[in-house]
Amino acid sequence: MTTALRGLHRAQVQLALQVLAEVVEDGAAADRALARQVRGNRKLGAKDRRWLAALVYGVLRRVCQLRARAGDEPGAWLSALLVEEYDAEVDQLDRFGLPAPPPPVAPTAAAARNWPPWLNAAAEAHFSAPRCDAIAQAMADQAAVDLRVNRLRCSPEQALQALQAEGIAVERVAAAPQALRLERRQPLQQTTPWRQGWIEPQDVGSQWICALLEARPGERIADWCAGAGGKALALAADQEDRGAILALDTDATRLSRIEARAQRLGVGSIATAALARDGWLDPALLPEGGFDAVLVDAPCSGSGTLRRHPEQVLRAVDLDALAEQQLAILGQAAGAVRRGGRLVYATCSFLPQENDAVVARFLANHPAFSVVEAARVLPVPPASETDPWLRTLPDVSACDGFCALRLVRAR
């Protein structure tokens, strides 16, 4: 067996195939499918878990390339990966229970970028080929682990020193005052800063979006499409937990995760409510006069988060249908903003079709709203002196790909 494959066994390979089957056939998120396999196989050691993650994410980070070469079967993808990156031989693949892969073929531009055709076409409509290549290359890398320091419990310097005291290699992040970044992935749940609620995982780009809203103590804020509440928790800290935040989502299961997270972080100002299936808010939940600020983290293609969720390239995406949904949600949320209030629209997509085009249509139909340049709120960078949007990408901003724009309603 080649040195690169030392420690890899048939059982690890077969577990990896089970995870890939969940992702491909059932649409499961890769991280959750991987965690389920680990929980269900208590005898897996640290090396086993590392191999399992390496195989699953190794395939998913190149799945469009591997599919172009080997067809639609995850077993063939894994074979091609082991041959190309680990110099596996046919007899080794056979021992792992894997088929021999077909010969390599020249990939299309989309496959070379590990982008599905819909994403490649959408990106090439707005970016040059070299820019698309650079974005794709950055998206192929593993995302860093960013932390938000919970200002309700400690300062960034206190959290930094406490983590370092426990052997965690971590550093401050420029232009993100509450952010820390791990130098390498390490478990945090047993550390004192985690147990005391000093830190919370949150990508730096996501932290900048929260800063763009500029939450203030005493304000009434709505987090539309809040999911599991990461941004709502950050906004509560910005308010010093002296305000009223309503976290809204159509998925009550995701909303239910907020309570435990809030308790660990010492946050008491967040309430949750489920939106109707069509996205409308129960009028009884609207405060008199409207919310002071509303954050709309709209459902999107997720093109900016492929480093964290590479399995998203396997999903069929209808950008036109998404844009209609995004416009409808933005319009619904805008109706809940008080006169003079703030509205931030954000996606984890770098595609203008889901950002610039959606907001342009919104503004054409909502003349009471106007644009506030990101540079009036955030430092440059991450804001730009020439672009009102906050735009981040991993090759430029060292974080996930986000787009966000702040609007204000006329008094």
| Active-site option among 64, 132, 348, 403 | 348
Could you give the CA distance from residue 355 to residue 321 in angstroms, rounded to a whole number? 14
The fraction of the chain above a pLDDT of 70, given in percent, is: 99
- Per the annotation, the verdict on 348 as an active-site residue is yes
pLDDT tier, 105 (very low <50, low <70, confident <90, very high otherwise): confident
Q: Are residues 356 and 231 in the same domain?
A: yes
Mean pLDDT of 100-115: 92
pLDDT tier, 2 (very low <50, low <70, confident <90, very high otherwise): low
**What are the tokens at 403?**
């787009």
Q: Give the count of beta carbons closer than 10 Å to the beta carbon of residue 176.
A: 24
Residues with Cβ within 8 Å of residue 258, at least 6 apart in sequence: 226, 228, 229, 232, 233, 247, 270, 272
Is the residue at 138 inside a domain? no
- pTM surpassing 0.85? yes
The answer to whether 334 touches 367, Cβ cutoff 8 Å, is: no
**Is residue 230 predicted with pLDDT exceeding 80?**
yes
pLDDT tier, 280 (very low <50, low <70, confident <90, very high otherwise): confident
Question: In which order are the strands placed within the sheet that holds 179-182?
Answer: 170-172, 179-182, 146-149, 199-201
Q: Are residues 155 and 220 in the same domain?
A: no
Looking at residue 4, what is its pLDDT? 81
Is the residue at 386 inside a domain? yes
Question: Is residue 95 within a helix (H) or strand (E), and if so which, with residue range?
Answer: helix 90-95
Which domain covers residue 33, as residue numbers? 3-104
Is the residue at 122 inside a domain? no
Q: Which of 104, 133, 156 is the last residue before a domain boundary?
A: 104
Instruction: Give per-residue pLDDT as tens, 357-386.
Output: 999 999 999 999 999 999 999 999 999 999
Instruction: Give per-residue pLDDT as tens, 49-82.
Output: 999 999 999 999 999 999 999 999 999 999 999 9
Q: Are residues 263 and 391 in the same domain?
A: yes
Is the residue at 296 inside a domain? yes
pLDDT tier, 265 (very low <50, low <70, confident <90, very high otherwise): very high
Looking at residue 43, what is its pLDDT? 83
Could you give the CA distance from residue 204 to residue 295 in angstroms, rounded to a whole number? 17
Looking at residue 210, what is its pLDDT? 98
Looking at residue 126, what is its pLDDT? 97
Is the residue at 135 inside a domain? no
Looking at residue 120, what is its pLDDT? 98
Q: What is the mean pLDDT of the chain?
A: 95
Is the residue at 234 inside a domain? yes
356-365 and 319-334 helices cross at what angle (nearest 10)? 40
Instruction: Give per-residue pLDDT as tens, 181-215.
Output: 999 998 899 999 999 999 999 999 999 999 999 99
The answer to whether 41 touches 49, Cβ cutoff 8 Å, is: no
